Amino acid sequence: MIKVLKVATVLSALALSAACRAEYESPPVTLKSDKGPVVCQLYTVERTYWDQAIQVPEGLTKEEGDAICQAEGIRQQQEARRRS
């Protein structure tokens, strides 16, 4: 019974976390890579660790796509800091 409650608690927290992320989403951004376009879901400049690839070209792993998207989020974050 305790195990079921722990699982339910974890699943509830994950669902709530996903719902909270939606309010921080930017429109998807398409970036060029050597293997083709990577479509990224970026969040606010304060939350670059959430940035992720939502579509990667053939020959590129999800992890590689995520790294490209996170690098773009960091680039945008640095640009925003320079402007302020």
Tens-place pLDDT, residues 2-37: 665 554 554 454 444 555 778 888 899 999 999 999
Domain that includes residue 36, residue range: 25-83
Q: Which residue has the higher pLDDT, 11 or 38?
A: 38
| pTM (2 d.p.) | 0.74
Task: Encode burial over 49-70: b for 16+ CB neighbours within 10 A, e otherwise.
Answer: ebbbbeebeeebeeebbbbbbb
Q: Is residue 16 in some structural domain?
A: no
Contact between 61 and 36 (Cβ < 8 Å): no
- What pLDDT shows up at residue 46? 84
* Domain total in the chain: 1
Tens-place pLDDT, residues 54-82: 999 999 999 999 999 999 999 999 999 99
Q: Is residue 1 in some structural domain?
A: no
Q: Is residue 38 in some structural domain?
A: yes
